[in-house]
Amino acid sequence: MLSQRLKELEAAGVVTRVAYAEVPPRVVYELTPRGRELRPVIAEMERWGQAGR
């Protein structure tokens, strides 16, 4: 499920994925500029969720 979500975010241009040919395999995800634009929205959603507790 997580890998599917990450693929969707990558396809949407929200994150980038870098896979390293190592043993064990290593993959690094980073926010793109578009992904960083979502930070205020995510922070507000977090505040909303915390208030509902």
Residue-wise pLDDT for 9-50, tens only, equals 999 999 999 999 999 999 999 999 999 999 999 999 999 999
Domains of the chain are 2-51 (1.10.10.10)
Give me the pLDDT at residue 26, please: 96
User: Which residues have CB under 8 Å from 15's CB, separation 6+?
Assistant: 6, 9, 29, 30, 31, 32, 35
Contact 17, 6 (CB under 8 A): yes
Residue 13 backbone class (left: φ over 0; alpha: ψ -120 to 50; beta: rest): left
Q: How far apart are CA 5 and CA 11, in angstroms?
A: 10
Give the separation between CA 30 and CA 46, rounded to whole angstroms.
20
Q: What is the pLDDT of residue 52?
A: 79
- pTM of this prediction? 0.76
